[in-house]
Amino acid sequence: MRPDPPDPAPGRVRPAGVVRAAVVRAEDAPGATLVVRLDQLPVGALALGGELARLRHALSGTAYAGLDKIALYGPGGPGRDLDYRFVQALPDGSFDFRAGCGHSLLAAVVAEGPRPGPVTVRAVTTGDTVLCEPYGDAYTLSFLKAPTAPGTLPTGRPVDVLGGVPVSLVRYGNPYVFVDARHLSETETETETGTGTEADDALRDRLLALRAEAARILGHPPRSALPKIAAFAEGPEGLSVRALTVGGWHPRLALTGAAALAAAGALDGTVVPAPTGPVRTPGGTVTVSAAPDRVRVHHKRAEVLGGLELPWRIHATA
């Protein structure tokens, strides 16, 4: 983390008291999410980079130091219960305000507490509307957009070639790059069975190179968290997937990645076959389904780990 800048002249910095936040962990996520309800923010707070950097700095003395996902939410507009904005903290101390995170969306729903019936959430960052339906202690999350909707294939093509490798670029929940592991080298694809660090690193580096090329095509900055990327293999037991997240391998598969995978499988001509059962990942299985008007990700769970009170300051400009 960069050191805090010097304070402006007296009278130009206004202490803003304390913000109450919840820490929520979705079961398959790489880490917990710091969830802040917007009405807990001080008057004038915009939750921009400088404010969020100070918020993360305050976490350094807690059990949640290094937490890199932030969910900001509040009451929704007409036809939805909640509006939600996701912010991804990047390893260099900056923030990405363009990505989405389904696990953090679920974290906001769980932090809000039980409601009678389903909860409709508008993901402001990505424009998605997600229906969260409780079933016992789990949720089914439905992305309320047809897989065939305009823009799901951002280049207009079901297959693009990056570095000699055929891939499908899909924008559904988040922009994703999907690559069939058969088109990678034998050493790289050994990681499907977890056979060693050298092969693991080779696959990661190859995927990062493909991701960088896709970022250029889609207009994302090189240091952005987007697009996401995943390699898959099809076998007798169905699909198996391995995906990258910010900072390394995802322990399972991002919730938006599961949705994008199902959307890609529902489209003609992509490299992704339609999932016919649970999708295998290094951390267990993920269940998805596609319908003409939506994609569902099933059996998702999250729990509140604790609450925090954190300082928040606003820098006035006059």
Query: What per-residue confidence (pLDDT) applies to 223?
Result: 84
Query: What per-residue confidence (pLDDT) applies to 234?
Result: 95
Q: What SS3 class is residue 58?
A: helix
- Mean pLDDT for 283-294 is 97
- Give residue 242's pLDDT band: very low, low, confident or very high (50, 70, 90): very high
- pLDDT tens for each residue of 89-109: 999 999 999 999 999 999 999
Angle at 151 between CA 145 and CA 153, to 5 degrees: 105
Nearest partner of 290 among 173, 160, 181, judged by Cα: 173
Query: What per-residue confidence (pLDDT) applies to 185?
Result: 67
Residue scoring higher pLDDT (223 or 213)? 213
Residue scoring higher pLDDT (10 or 311)? 311
- Over 80: is that where the pLDDT of 134 sits? yes
Rounded-to-integer distance, Cα 23 and Cα 35, Å: 6
- Mean pLDDT for 167-172 is 98
Q: What percent of the chain has pLDDT over 70?
A: 90
Which segments of the chain does DSSP mark as H helices, in order? Answer: 49-58, 102-112, 186-189, 197-218, 255-265
Residue scoring higher pLDDT (66 or 270)? 270
- Give residue 318's pLDDT band: very low, low, confident or very high (50, 70, 90): very low
Nearest partner of 184 among 197, 167, 198, 168, judged by Cα: 167
- Give residue 8's pLDDT band: very low, low, confident or very high (50, 70, 90): very low
Beta carbons within 8 Å of 183's beta carbon, 6+ residues apart: 165, 166
- Over 90: is that where the pLDDT of 199 sits? no
Contact by Cβ (8 Å): 258, 28: no
- Give residue 240's pLDDT band: very low, low, confident or very high (50, 70, 90): very high
